[in-house]
Amino acid sequence: MHGDNTELVRVRDLHFSRGTKHIFRGLSVDIPRGKITTILGPSGTGKTTLLKLIGGQLRGNQGTIHVDGLNVASLKRRELYQLRKRLGMLFQSGALLTDLSVFENIAFPLREHTDLPEKLISHLVLMRLHAVGLRGVRDLSPAELSGGMARRAALARALVFDPMMIMYDEPFTGQDPISMGILIELIKTVNKALGITSLMVSHDLAESLSISDYAVIISEGLVVEAGTPEQLRSSKSEWVQQFLQGKPDGPVPFQAAAPDYETELLGSLDRSGS
Amino acid sequence: MINYVAGVGRYWIDFLASVGRASLFLLNTLTALPSLFRRPALLVRQLHAIGVMTLSIVLVSGLFVGMVLALQGYNILIDFGQENRTGTLVALTLVRELGPVVTGLLFAGRAGSAITAEIGLMKATEQLSGLEMMAVDPFKRIFAPRFLAGFMAMPMLAAMFSAVGACGGYLLAVVALGVDSGAYWSLMQSAVNFIYDVGNGLVKGTVFGFVITWIAIYQGAESIPTSEGVSRATTRTVVYSSLAVLGLDFLLTAIMF
Ligand SMILES: Nc1ncnc2c1ncn2[C@@H]1O[C@H](COP(=O)(O)OP(=O)(O)O)[C@@H](O)[C@H]1O
Ligand SMILES: [Mg+2]
């Protein structure tokens, strides 16, 4: 089933809108196999939406998404589920099932999809828990975990089927420096030691660029710049520089699109006067 | 004028679209039901959460409603010297009307709101998306067990409401007001027809259970995934299902009795 090219995910001319809002207008991105790729962009550009499109939870209005040579939008339900078993996704909140213990959360995909004996399930789960350093909290409920621990538990769950790719949705948002360091190490290990293609979406620049092989910056539904982290840092685009350096004003205006300030102030005076 | 017509038109289109979505949702839930044969544990857990946990409020309410009916009935019937028939009045009112209707309203408030809030929060915390991405169908894992449990629990709860209500009536009429015990039960027994009264009451309970659980699950799954969105969805569940219970009760009564 492998495509003869090296990219695992190929997005071409993707259009997607929610209501009247155009989120993607002709997006084309390649995610290379075996690498860590980061998609960067301001909040609300549609990074989470893109992951859901790749996972087949949403359908684009136009354009194609191929994952491992399969056109996601044209898959039947069963084929899509088959594909999803080979993808892991780490949601921003962890998305652990709140009515199950940490152990049961990680065992969940195994219990749903296989008839493995209890002994083997326990073995597989403990291995994954050990890998993310959470063997000691297996009996806690997800609500008792810190945000960083919840993400690590979710990572263990995403790894339980040895997927070919893991998608991380903003893995570093709201983490203290120690959890951040642990997560960075884990993401690197998953990629380098297990050879799993990693696709990360983020707006935390420094952390994500430090571990990425390849990065893509998107804004307003299009790719602004793509390349290795070094190529991005030396980009001549003012927009990229503003984004990378976090300047408040520049090509991306500080003000959201609005009518002229002076006219609006004077206009409101007029109205209140009348 | 044109705006008005366009507004009415838009309202109708939106309304029909949401009816369509809700029906499709129901269809998907129904087709997921057979999967419960392989996973009966999921159903048992929901029967406990939805049925057993609603039992106490239903029993207490049933007792009091039965006592009030007996008191009111006795006060009227005694003027005609027919206070022996208090049991008949209590039983017929409960089995035909108040059993299913009051249980339906309590069920909407106790179980329906809980179902919506739970599913809405699962959506808001990305648990439903998470299931989808693990190739687990939320219709089979989450919606179908809740739907079947609500559908099965409601008529049983309504029957228990009526049974306890009849005992409450007994306490008041016989123990407190001195109606003859034998007359209370035997007149009740001869007046209540099993198929016609009890059967139709059970049909009502089943229909209410179907509609309330459908509304509750659908509102949860369609809620806007924020705290405000979930709270609004919960309110909608209680309002819509209460109205549906009262409206359907009128319709069913007109057809049945
Ligand atoms: N379920 C939804 N319904 C309507 N609009 C949505 C929904 N989810 C996201 N959006 C909108 O789509 C845009 C992109 O959202 P998202 O992909 O979550 O952005 P990001 O992850 O980059 O912050 C946002 O403007 C958001 O308001
Ligand atoms: Mg996001």
pLDDT, tens digit, 9 for 90 and up, residues B90-115: 999 999 999 999 999 999 999 999 99
Q: Please check whether residue B198 is in contact with residue B155, taking contact to mean a CB–CB distance below 8 angstroms.
A: no
Q: Which of B121, B134, B226 to mutate to test the interface with A (most CBs of A within 10 A)?
A: B134
Residue A221 CB less than 6 A away from ligand 1: no
Percent of chain B with pLDDT over 90: 91
d(CA A195, CA A178): 25
In chain B, the residue whose alpha carbon lies closest to the alpha carbon of A160 is: B134
pLDDT value, residue B201: 94
Residue A42 CB less than 6 A away from ligand 1: no
Burial class (CB in 10 A: 0-12, 13-18, 19+), B58: buried
Amino acid identity at B155 = P
- To 5 degrees, how large is the angle CA A262–CA A268–CA A271? 140
Question: Which chain A positions have a beta carbon within 8 Å of B141's beta carbon?
Answer: 112
Instruction: Return the structure tokens found at B228.
Output: 């405000």
Residue A51 CB less than 6 A away from ligand 1: no
pLDDT band at B184 (very low <50, low <70, confident <90, very high): very high
pLDDT value, residue A273: 46
pLDDT at B20 over 50: yes
Q: Which are the contacts of B252, defined by CB distance < 8 A and separation ≥ 6? A: B200, B203, B204, B207
Q: With H, G, I as helix, E, B as strand and everything else as coil, classify residue B246.
A: helix
Q: Which of A53, A58, A89 to mutate to test the interface with B (most CBs of B within 10 A)?
A: A89
Q: With H, G, I as helix, E, B as strand and everything else as coil, classify residue A18.
A: strand
**pLDDT per residue over B220-232, tens digit each?**
999 999 999 999 9
Q: A99 vs chain B: nearest CA distance in angstroms?
A: 10
3-state secondary structure A36-64: EEEEECCCCCCHHHHHHHHCCCCCCCEEE
Instruction: Return the structure tokens found at A198.
Output: 């990693």
Binning chain A into helix, strand and coil, the percentages to the nearest 5 are: 40, 25, 35
Instruction: Return the structure tokens found at A268.
Output: 């409101």
State the total domains in chain B. Answer: 1
pLDDT at B241 over 70: yes
Q: Which ligand is nearest to the CA of A173?
A: 2
Residue A45 CB less than 6 A away from ligand 1: yes
pLDDT value, residue A44: 87
pLDDT value, residue A3: 46
Q: Between B133, B136, B141, which is nearest A89 by CB?
A: B133
Amino acid identity at B241 = S
Q: Which are the contacts of B171, defined by CB distance < 8 A and separation ≥ 6? A: B66, B67, B70
Interface of A with B (CB under 8 A): 52, 55, 57, 81-82, 84-85, 87-89, 91-93, 95-98, 108-109, 112-113, 157
Return the half-sphere exposure (C-beta side, CA atoms, 13 A cut-off) of residue B35: 19
- ipTM of the complex model: 0.83
Question: Which chain A positions have a beta carbon within 8 Å of B122's beta carbon?
Answer: 98
Amino acid identity at B23 = S
pLDDT value, residue A163: 92
Inter-chain residue contact A81 with B135, CB threshold 8 Å: yes
Tell which residue, A227, A159, A230, has the closest CA to residue A196: A159
Instruction: Return the structure tokens found at A249.
Output: 């004003």
Inter-chain residue contact A97 with B130, CB threshold 8 Å: yes
Provide the residue-wise pLDDT of chain A in tens; the chain has 274 residues: 454 458 899 999 999 999 889 999 999 999 999 999 999 988 889 999 999 999 999 999 999 999 999 999 999 999 999 999 999 999 988 889 998 999 999 999 999 999 999 999 999 999 999 999 999 999 999 999 988 899 999 999 999 888 999 999 999 888 888 888 999 999 999 999 888 999 999 888 888 888 999 999 998 889 988 999 888 888 888 888 888 887 777 766 666 777 777 777 776 665 554 4
Tell which residue, A166, A157, A217, A206, has the closest CA to residue A189: A166
Cβ contacts of A8-11, under 8 Å, gap ≥ 24: A8/A32, A8/A33, A8/A67, A8/A68, A8/A164, A8/A165, A8/A197, A9/A54, A9/A65, A9/A66, A9/A67, A9/A165, A9/A199, A10/A64, A10/A65, A10/A66, A11/A50, A11/A54, A11/A63, A11/A64, A11/A65, A11/A66
Instruction: Return the structure tokens found at A218.
Output: 């998107």
Residue at token pair 């070919």: A164
Residue A47 CB less than 6 A away from ligand 1: yes
Inter-chain residue contact B129 with A52, CB threshold 8 Å: yes
Q: Which residue is closest in CA terms to ligand 1's atom 16?
A: A46
Model pTM?
0.87
Beta pairing class for A165-169 and A197-202: parallel
Per the structure, the complete domain to which residue B91 belongs is given by 2-256
Residue at token pair 């999809």: A113
Q: B4 vs chain A: nearest CA distance in angstroms?
A: 23
Q: Check residue B78 and report its DSSP letter.
A: G
d(CA B81, CA B100): 30
pLDDT at B150 over 90: yes
Q: A178 vs chain B: nearest CA distance in angstroms?
A: 24
